[in-house]
Amino acid sequence: MKLTILGLLLFAFSYSACAQNMGTVVESKTIKSAALGKDVKYTLYLPADYETSQRAYPIVYLLHGYGDADDGWVQFGEVNRYADAAIANGDIPPMIIAMPDGGVSFYINSYDGATKYEDFFIKEFMPHIEKTYRVKAQKRFRGVAGLSMGGYGTLIYSLKYPDLFAAAAPLSAAVFMDEDIMNMPDANWDRTFAGLFGRNLTGKDRLSQAFYDNSPLKIIETKSKEELSKVRYWIDCGDDDFLINGNCMLKIALTKKGVPHEFRVRDGAHTWTYWRTGITDALNFIGDSFRQK
């Protein structure tokens, strides 16, 4: 009986210690968006000591992929569990992680102005998060990351707004070369990109100004090394991922401009298994930007 009681006490102590290292996931929060004309959901990860401290925290905006929602990174990516472990181990500093619902917007403004997600994110969502929660609202304490469509959004925001973000970590980013767009089957174009870049377009006509204004490769081509080097980049894509060619071209484009960056190709495909095993390294890279050198 004594052993049983001792065992229960040890279990309770162990559970209490683990609980103290567990952050909080806040789900089903909404923000009313004038840019989008609707309420937008978001999920938040708050580090374990958020409720007991008065300090402000650095922040990472974490973007989901096509077909997922704001809770995707928690539901399938278990980002809260990985963040808890990395913070407890001292691998990353305590941070807030904000995850908005991006729908299938690719996180940009559509060519016809029907959807203005980029305006929402930059002008409404970020200010809302950084006023509502204890965030260190400075470039040096702000990062952005995401997978697939969210990796594309990560690149768009860090390339267009380099004065807002210290680091960016696109995972399996949806980077498309001109030939990918021109040769894309009409059904794929109509389903995924027509609403973003132009309807009833085929072949070379798809390479519109709207597309080039939102092409990571074209943006890199038109910006200077100095401008591009304002953000630290961590690029990660699986060797069996259907997006590997675009990610390799992204690496080549940055190399040609002489822009420092980290590029990782690991064994894997376009799967949650790949992203779960990569998110800690991505957060570690971003978190290193928040530390005093």
Q: What angle do CA 73, 47, 279 make, to 5 degrees?
A: 35
Position 245, amino acid: N
pLDDT of residue 21: 81
Spatial separation of the C-alpha atoms in residues 36 and 210, rounded to whole Å: 19
Q: Please give the backbone phi and psi of residue 144, each rounded to the nearest 5 degrees, phi first.
A: -140, 140
Q: In this structure, what are the phi and psi dihedrals at residue 33, rounded to the nearest 5 degrees? A: -110, 120
| pLDDT at residue number 293 | 72
C-alpha 108/C-alpha 119 separation (Å) is: 8
| Per-residue tens of pLDDT for the chain, all 293 residues | 444 665 555 454 444 444 568 999 999 999 999 999 999 999 999 999 999 999 999 999 999 999 999 999 999 999 999 999 999 999 999 999 999 999 999 999 999 999 999 999 999 999 999 999 999 999 999 999 999 999 999 999 999 999 999 999 999 999 999 999 999 999 999 999 999 999 999 999 999 999 999 999 999 999 999 999 999 999 999 999 999 999 999 999 999 999 999 999 999 999 999 999 999 999 999 999 999 87
Give the chain's largest Cα–Cα span. Answer: 79
Give the pTM.
0.93
For residue 264, count CB atoms less than 10 angstroms from its CB and return exposed for 0-12, middle for 13-18, buried for 19 or more: middle
Please report, for the chain, the start and end positions of each structural domain, with discontinuous segments joined by +.
22-173+229-290
pLDDT of residue 15: 42
Give domain 22-173+229-290's CATH architecture. Answer: 3-Layer(aba) Sandwich (3.40)
Handedness of CA 259, 260, 262, 265 (dihedral sign): positive
